[in-house]
Amino acid sequence: MSTRGLTPVVCSLTKNRRTTFERIDKFLSKDYFVDVNLYGRLYPAQAPLVQILHWNATASSADIAADEIDADIDSASITSADDHHHGGPEWKVKVPSRDYFRPYKLGDPFGPTWSTHWFIVTIDIPREWIGREVQLLWDSGSEAMIWTAGQTEPLQAFSGGVDSQMRNDFILSKCVKESELKRELWIEVACNDLFGAGAGGMINPPDPKKVFSVRKAEVAVFDREVFDLFTDFEILYGMAKHLPETDPRNYEAMYLANHIINLMKTQPEFPIKELRKLIQKHFSQKNGDYPFKIFALGHCHIDSAWLWQYGETIRKCGRSWITMIRLMEEYPDYRFVASSAQQFLWVKQYYPVIYEQIKKFVKNGQFILVGGTWVEMDGNLPSGEAFIRQFLYGQKFFEEEFGQRCDVFWLPDTFGYSAQLPQIMRLAGIKYFLTQKLSWSLVNKFPHHNFLWRGIDGSEVLVHFPPGDSYGMSLTVEDTLKTVENHKDKGRVHQSVLLYGYGDGGGGPTPAMIERGRRMKDIDGLPKVSLNESITDFFHALEEEQHNLNRWSGELYLELHNGTYTTQAEIKRKNRVVQNLFRDVEFLDVILFAFFDIPPVDRSSQWHDLLLQQFHDVLPGSSIGLVNQDANRILSGLIETLNDECLAALAYLVSPNDFQKLMFNSSGAKIAYTSPFNASLETFTSYLLPPYSLSSGATFLRQSQYTTKIQKEKNSFLMENNFVRVVLDEFGQITSMVLKSNDSKSREDRECIEEGGLGNNLALYDDVPLFWDAWDCMDYHLEARVTAKTLVDSKIVDDATVVRYSLSKDCVVTQHIRLAPDAPVVLVECKVNWNERHKFLKMETDVSISSENKRGIYEIQHGWVERPVHRNTSWDWAKFEVCCQRWADFSEHGFGLAVINTGSHGFSIRENRMSLSMLRAPKAPDSEADMGVHGINYAIMAHWGTFQEAGVVQQAIALNDTWNAAVSEPLRKEVTLIKDHSLDEEVGKLNGLITFFELSNPAVVLDALKSFEKVKERAVVARFYEAYGGTALCRVSTALPVIAMKECNILEDLSGEKLTVKDKTFRIQLKPFEIKTFVLFLSTDIPHKLI
């Protein structure tokens, strides 16, 4: 092996691998011996900038008029507590003329955290550099964006502050011309780095007073030949270091790298291109005909909020994506994937120049759209309808803006995956799914990287977990070999995905990563690397081998981050309220449209706001305090707005005299309105409002009388109704709960509480995780349990037992405990004054059921799943804390107990103890997480038979009925009526009860009634699901003027034939847990009245 007189590759000495590797490593090092190594030759000449000017945009923004922001910008784009007052994020200001700028000297501090600073740099390239490649080098220890002079066009991002993810170079010219010697650029600097500004640690709360400085600002000659040799060396060194020692290619690479170092040291003037030929000859030895293939895709995961607010995410998207566009221009074979319609909308609104360039590269196939959702949402906590709207609005945006829908669901960083997602994906036209988060599981390693995932209804999607166990690799030799070695489906499939590029805070791939990928296209000893194929190309290749794959049925449970089911309880509670209010207001939209031809309100922007709060670091509670403040504010605003709009619609439908008496129910459960408790007679009068109905007063409803007994006996309280008898101790803990047989010949009264056990027992646990504070609760927290309480007061108030006690000086509890008048249900209104540190509060109930051969049942989106209550295997005990929606049930044949919540999600059933997680107290990344007073409502329901027969589903729906829980008080305030649609005072007004839908099968739930997105004719959309877990036939009768119907998917694409509806009645059939959506076509004869 010789070229133009170069000596062959020989080693006169026996080589020590460690010292040889160290030698190669130092030859490439950015930190050691840069005066004599290869890295030090990348920039052979530097020159200072002529001038740097500085302007503090944040401090000066009051003096400079803000840019006008379009009225159609979503309110979710508003990003700080005072942004509602000035219309946009703080950085969105008009940069003034140069007169406002002042000279800046390198090293001068500026800040503080989250502020924005602009710099004008004046460049004068030395004339002797003409013909050479010249770059601008900049390091402000922060994120920054380069603009053309006058802030007219964004060019590229800089990123500093995180040494492993630096991007501090910008190409001024690949070959400098005379006309390019003088130039002015503007640089927008954000006072945060890619991971925010944590005080003393990445996930710590931000340091609000952090200061920054420009450490480097110069122009430099870039030696492209040295860079190419440097990249060759990286591959060569990677092969020497990471190929097995049994592989001859390992030693060949080591010897060759060592030999070239010797040549460069002994013949420093020898042409680099001749040295590269030696390496290229080594690389020219190709793989076989059927090697493992890696689809390498550029990626920059951008959390929509996390350690920074939404406003900074907007800039992260702009910075990251314009940098990716520069790479696409440079490398036509480069492919980049990006998800989240919300982020594309932000770029469209705030960076229209970048957005138009994105459209160009989407069209040519380099900028690849994935996901199909509004954001990369949490995979456990949102409701089923919220999941559906993620896909509806995400796919709609991509189709309207880019003329295409996504065929790959992309959710690499959420904390577990609901078993209902496969069905929802398929209903959104998606059959492929990519994630990698399960690689984080602490206890068990997931057994597959490629598999068919089957949901609870039987729907299947093809899934890939990149075996590199990361969405932000660097495309090194080590990364490619790890991808192959980790691959759990060897022999079944012969390809996988490798995602490369800086991520979480954005950033994306670098030129060096792409260059490494190009060199590894086909080298003997390494897997083949393909840069120019799409994620769909990968799944098509995988699909050809899917007959070799295993199936996984049910949820994908992450054995980590299970504290996120509970952290930030107030955000979770408000999220539940908003989800239910959307059901209410959209139902009313349809009523106004169907009966009075009032056009439905476009609620897409409101939905965008909610869907953004369901991002996988917001709703789970794993963001900094500023983000949580934003989320609480936005959710509160939605509650107020949707509530007001419900009131306006109802005011239109009933006469003013009936407005204070009206009763509305858009849910699938009967709602019991009760008269005030008559203490002397111990009676209630209950008025039952049917599902999906509206009444102008209680007199039109079926009435029932119920007796409830409540009395104090020494240190205990007895509460009793027709269905259950409950004994409470002085702390409100249930010492006995007897479910009455009610003279049934087949059963006797049944004690529900285990002997010696308690119900409604609040326990305090020590809660110090290994690292991820807001995210994790570890299994060992169960070993540090405290239940001792100090009584403050206990008494009877009307129909409730009221107790007040403390579990510690920082945890004071007040509970109002009463019985539902018409059911075997204990209702608990719990107020907790919570100021703990690293504690976990749970409500526990010990059930008189043996756990042998039993499984807990938990509601998930549009269905339920079973989970073990024992600890037989590591897979069982790893689920010590799980997620549910509104209820969990633990039953034996003929009897059971359910716990229903109104906003909590963390739960567990272990042996015979049911535990509802209520509050946590992590200190990072939000030091004030969950501090303060919380209202947490829940219910404990005993039942005969199965939970289906007992109506647990309906009780949970009723307890969560937002209209009665959240809106009963606002009904008394002034209401703004619907504009431009007035009726005479009594004409067309409701005087009575109208039931808009009647369903013959209680297993079928009408979960959404909404306007038709494709508004071309008079039609609305109704979505049903099967809730019990069996095939269901259902007759649907409606008061709406429905004349025909047609099935559609959740994107509202019509399918099948259009069926005529006679007498406003139709039949539907659903498989277990199936979701079905129908377009209901309405008569063009407008009723102009309800009944």
Tell me the CA distances in angstroms from 830 to 760, 804, 843, 922, one per residue in order.
11, 10, 10, 21
Which has the closest alpha carbon to 5: 277, 378, 288, 362? 277
Strands 724-729 and 1032-1038, bridge-based pairing: unpaired
Instruction: Give the number of C-alpha atoms closer than 13 A to the C-alpha of residue 1086, restricted to the C-beta side.
Output: 12
Which has the closest alpha carbon to 568: 859, 206, 814, 904? 904
For residues 221 and 129, the answer to whether their CB atoms sit within 8 Å is yes
- CA 760 and chain centroid, separation: 32
- Which one-letter DSSP state was computed for residue 350? H
d(C-alpha 830, C-alpha 1045), whole Å:
45
Residue carrying the six token digits 């794993």: 622
For residues 88 and 69, the answer to whether their CB atoms sit within 8 Å is yes
Residue carrying the six token digits 């598999």: 451
For residues 471 and 500, the answer to whether their CB atoms sit within 8 Å is no
d(C-alpha 838, C-alpha 921), whole Å:
5
For residues 915 and 562, the answer to whether their CB atoms sit within 8 Å is no
Which has the closest alpha carbon to 124: 176, 188, 169, 186? 176
122 phi and psi angles, rounded to 5 deg: -105, 125
Instruction: Count the neighbouring beta carbons within 10 Å of the beta carbon of residue 778.
Output: 17
Which has the closest alpha carbon to 376: 325, 424, 415? 415
The size of the chain, in residues, is: 1091
Instruction: Count the neighbouring beta carbons within 10 Å of the beta carbon of residue 931.
Output: 17
Peptide bond into 925 cis (omega under 30): yes
d(C-alpha 922, C-alpha 569), whole Å:
12
For residues 902 and 965, the answer to whether their CB atoms sit within 8 Å is yes
d(C-alpha 373, C-alpha 393), whole Å:
7
SS3 726: strand
Tell me the CA distances in angstroms from 484 to 101, 463, 464, 467, 527, one per residue in order.
54, 17, 14, 7, 8
Kindly state the tokens that stand for 345. 């909308």
- Which one-letter DSSP state was computed for residue 716? E
d(C-alpha 455, C-alpha 465), whole Å:
17
- CA 87 and chain centroid, separation: 26
For residues 524 and 249, the answer to whether their CB atoms sit within 8 Å is yes
Please report, as a single letter, which amino acid is at residue 1074: E
77 phi and psi angles, rounded to 5 deg: -75, -15
Instruction: Give the number of C-alpha atoms closer than 13 A to the C-alpha of residue 38, restricted to the C-beta side.
Output: 28
Provide the annotated active-site residues. 413
